[in-house]
Structure 1
């Protein structure tokens, strides 16, 4: 394989997300040489008919700027990349309208004037201390949005392939058995927004169940897929009241920390497995499963995109150069 044969750039931020991404490959390829200025560590392989270059953010370094740097290196090392996928975990913003549960998947999708991702912490403070968000981010490429519509339609008729891909992952990598196993509704606890976590540990054993939000148990236990706006910023969202306020103001489904650094210079779709509710009760119990189910959706998406559609899509470098003319 050569650099020019890779057309998909897959970015993740955490080791658990990287492991899930690599586990979804149908075939792994040998490493290729890269420029000394490119500090990314790539895993190369194939999913379906597409050759994929996977890169992870540096250990302990998150946020929009770090994601933008990783994306710029992918573009320079693999000049034929047509589009990107930002795949990993995120904090859900459930509501009466959107019954988001832990282990669900949220996909960025344009709505109105937004391209699918809103940088909620970018703007200016005006009179009376009001914060006004400025600017907008680009939407994902048409080839990805078409594939999203195809999957939405398919999932109305048939079950998603997520469970199958997770089973394949655990069969191929037995050590990932726990990552691919749904933790169970007993560990999915949503508390009232204003009720804070009671102890400095990783469980909610000391939290008062009186303040839990009552929700019906899903009969099938499968992960649901939600499509809509994703909020992106440089700080971890860990407050239920702020989460709900921004959910109402921006009509977002989840919160994450990297996508806003990518959308304008690295056209991509954002895929987030929900691992917490972006409040003080967040912990890492659901991270491996949420990362795996997000990666499984990314694989299902790539498998519905024909190779000729990708070939007809301009490489990211060509698109950016044309925009600057």
Structure 2
């Protein structure tokens, strides 16, 4: 049994394939947690990487998107109260731009143009004659993760990386994983012109079905180039699976997006985390299922290298992720109370305004010449004027006589 108070790093996966890859890179696995928070249904794997105590979890089978990811993160930080930051590690669709993003590469969310490394692509504003504008950039990761990214980036630039070798070592240690998680042949990573689409729901592979004349030629990477390559920049997150090369190219050109995924939008503004994605397709209509396992391995291998950049003792002073989530919850409750109080104040003010308005309107009513009040007892009431209803009183007296 493991003490849940020991764990300071939360690692979240969306898919079982990503979960297997994450578990494979642990230096050491621990036993199951000794207890969990009530109503926490997450499945956890506990272990260590580079002296960090890691808790890894995965979204429920068949669930996707930002709300599911937010729920999993919320339950995790209540069961593991000392988690300081999160890592959203998985697979996504690449946008092949001037950075030459290819299948099996890794994209790391990184701040650009003063914004965080995440863009919520399905949240913004629709402007007449201008179309839809994405305006919602999500919070950037905490400083401890951003400095680790910078340090690892410098190390890779000087020395190169050993991600390929790390993946091969893991697969040699567990040969059962080779068929699904080994790197596919390079020729299967076919990139087609954006206007050319795969036949919807067609079973044959692109190699069997699609016209080779629509392929975009790219030279193989040389031995002096990193393969897989690591890219740093903007990741687009939302609640739709993107299989549209035209939309992909539009966001890549307008915003500089390098990758698309579905879960990070539910985490970044409420849970301090970094997003790391292995590229398993090109966010178009074509089929690349054989790349999912390797892309998950590449992202997990990078994450392990990243954790080696962070001294475990530096993690402890950081603000707990649970405190951030609780702070957000407290803010929401305060806003709710303020709205309730405002409604009460507004209601009382409305009554006062109505009374003042009614009095003003009575005073401004035109008075007929010679009009008098008809009841001596009421002559001093505010709503009556001298001489009002005198003629009506005379008519009543004549009728009674």
Q: How does 1:1-325 map to 2 (within 5 A)?
A: 1-32=2-33, 33-95=35-97, 97-128=98-129, 130-198=131-199, 200-201=202-203, 203-204=205-206, 205-220=208-223, 222-321=227-326
SS at structure 1 position matched to 2:209: coil
CA separation in 2, counterparts of 1:101 and 1:132? 27
SS of the residue aligned with 1:135?
Answer: strand
More helix by share: 2
Which 4+ stretches in 1 moved above 6 angstroms?
A: none
Deviation at 1:6, TM superposition (A): 0.3
Deviation at 1:246, TM superposition (A): 1.3
Cα-to-partner distance string for 1:89-115 (whole Å, 9 max, x where unaligned): 0000011x2101100000000112321
Give the Å deviation of 1:308: 1.7
Contact map agreement 1:179 1:292 (CA 8 A) in 2: no
Which protein has greater RCO, CA pairs closer than 8 Å, 6+ apart?
A: 1
SS, match of residue 86 in structure 1: strand
Show CA shifts across 1:165-203 (max 9, x none).
212311221111234422121111000001001470251
CA distance in 2: counterparts of 1:167 and 1:283, whole angstroms: 21
For 2:75 and 2:93, locate their aligned partners in 1 and report how far apart those are by CA, in whole Å: 27
* Structure 2 unpaired stretches of 5+: 332-401
| DSSP-derived class of the 1:177 partner | helix
Q: How many residues align?
A: 324
CA distance in 1: counterparts of 2:83 and 2:185, whole angstroms: 38
Bigger radius of gyration: 2
Distance 2:54 2:162 in 1: 20
- TM-score when scaled to structure 1? 0.95
Q: Is the 8 A contact 1:169 1:180 kept in 2?
A: no
Match of 2:343 in 1: none
The whole-number CA distance in structure 1 between the counterparts of 2:31 and 2:90 is: 24
- Check whether the contact 2:119–2:234 (CA below 8 A) recurs between aligned residues: yes
TM-score by length of 2: 0.78
